[in-house]
Amino acid sequence: MTDNVQIEKSGGILTLTLARPDKKNALTNEMYGKLADTIEGAENDASVRVIVIKGQGDSFTAGNDLSEFAAVAAGKAEGERHVTRFIHSLGRSTKPLVAAVQGRAVGVGTTMLLHCDLVVLAENALLSTPFVSLALVPEAASSLLMPLRIGHARAFELFALGEPIAAKVALEWGLANRVVPLERLDAETGALAQRLAKQPLGSLVATKRLMRNGEVLVKQMEAEGEVFAVRLQSAEARESFRAFAERRPPDFAKFG
Ligand code: COA
């Protein structure tokens, strides 16, 4: 099993650390598998009262591993794809989810925050969802949750132009609870998680169930997934993955 996701449990707090810092914690199929197994397992584990997600190194995560997207697009990816299980586990999780985010949070790195109940950003956090720039479409129910959270105008711009927003803006738009100095990120997140862990779990779970309908979110993910799978095979998407690998801007002009 991959070491690129570290798991630690202490005092009712389950911490998942994305640990592939040399690749900006880009998420591989194996990493999604371990994350999904752990979040699914936590549902029926009474000793887990809070789940914290964080990243090692200078970034939270650069999102899906683009070489794996390219392999899927080329029909070269083998075995079960775990990303769907991962996003479904986020949608269905009834335990409080807390995220600690520094540096880049790209793609699913940002859309997973829409499933986190408390989001703490370091001052240097930059959130982006460049799905359209990659010739893809939004996922993880973000096509529903993002406009609900920040309004259509901001959500469309975020998706369509793919440019990052700074921590302060994300806070102002309601995408986060706190912005803290980078050196305080772990401590502030840990303190919030501990406060949550002391609250009555039954009431937290019931509150979260009243606030969000996991099955509606999973339905949206399924609808997005169908379009995403088609887009992934498109010539435009193949050009975007090639461009990333070749460290050049993509050229979409040749496609109609
Ligand atoms: N998939 C695979 N590898 C990735 C990656 C990703 N999503 N993001 C970064 N990496 C790798 C780079 O290829 C590079 O590997 P190398 O050192 O072997 O060449 C390493 O991580 C460091 O990335 P680099 O681009 O040099 O860092 P940077 O600080 O200049 O830029 C990012 C950081 C996150 C802005 C940039 O890497 C990026 O745009 N990544 C792609 C993000 C993306 O589009 N994700 C998919 C969203 S759906």
Helix locations, 126-213, DSSP H: 142-150, 152-161, 167-172, 185-198, 201-211
Considering only CA atoms, which of 54, 37, 219, 227 is closest in space to residue 145? Answer: 219
- Determine, yes or no, domain membership for 204: no
Q: How many domains does the chain have?
A: 1
For residue 15, how far is its CA from the centre of ligand 1 (angstroms)? Answer: 24
- Determine, yes or no, domain membership for 238: no
Report how far apart, in Å, the C-alpha atoms of 89 and of each of 10, 122, 147 are.
21, 25, 21
Q: Atom 12 of ligand 1 has which residue's CA nearest to it?
A: 23
| C-alpha count within 13 angstroms, C-beta hemisphere, residue 46 | 2
90-103 pLDDT, tens digit per residue, is 999 999 999 999 99
Q: Atom 6 of ligand 1 has which residue's CA nearest to it?
A: 65
- Determine, yes or no, domain membership for 164: yes
Per-residue pLDDT at 220: 98
Backbone angles phi, psi at 183, to 5 degrees: -70, -10
- Determine, yes or no, domain membership for 160: yes
Q: Are the C-beta atoms of residues 27 and 66 closer than 8 Å to each other?
A: no
Considering only CA atoms, which of 138, 146, 96 is closest in space to residue 118? Answer: 96
Ligand 1 pocket check: which of 24, 65, 136 to mutate, most ligand atoms within 8 Å of Cβ?
Answer: 24
- Supply the range of the domain harboring residue 110: 2-183
| C-alpha count within 13 angstroms, C-beta hemisphere, residue 48 | 23
Q: Atom 42 of ligand 1 has which residue's CA nearest to it?
A: 62
Per-residue pLDDT at 110: 99
- Determine, yes or no, domain membership for 126: yes
- Determine, yes or no, domain membership for 206: no
- Which atom of ligand 1 is the closest one to the Cα of 139? 48
Enter the tokens of residue 50.
């809070």
| CATH number for position 45 | 3.90.226.10
Q: DSSP class of residue 81?
A: -
For residue 163, how far is its CA from the centre of ligand 1 (angstroms)? Answer: 15
Tens of pLDDT along the chain (256 residues) come to 679 999 999 999 999 999 999 999 999 999 999 999 999 999 999 999 999 999 999 999 999 999 999 999 888 988 888 999 999 999 999 999 999 999 999 999 999 999 999 999 999 999 999 999 999 999 999 999 999 999 999 999 999 999 999 999 999 999 999 999 999 999 999 999 999 999 999 999 999 999 999 999 999 999 999 999 999 999 999 999 999 999 999 999 999 7
Taking CB atoms and a 6 Å cutoff, what residues make up the pocket around ligand 1? 23-24, 26, 62-67, 104, 106-107, 130-131, 134
Per-residue pLDDT at 79: 84
Q: Atom 27 of ligand 1 has which residue's CA nearest to it?
A: 24
For residue 199, how far is its CA from the centre of ligand 1 (angstroms)? Answer: 39
For residue 71, how far is its CA from the centre of ligand 1 (angstroms)? Answer: 16
- Determine, yes or no, domain membership for 116: yes
CA 231 to chain centre: 20
Per-residue pLDDT at 98: 98
For residues 193, 26, 113 and 13, what is the CA-based torsion angle, rounded to 10 degrees? Answer: -20
- Determine, yes or no, domain membership for 152: yes
Helices (H) and strands (E) in the chain, counts: 11, 9
- Which atom of ligand 1 is the closest one to the Cα of 67? 2
192-201 pLDDT, tens digit per residue, is 999 999 999 9
Q: How far apart are CA 88 and CA 170, in angstroms?
A: 24
Q: DSSP class of residue 103?
A: S
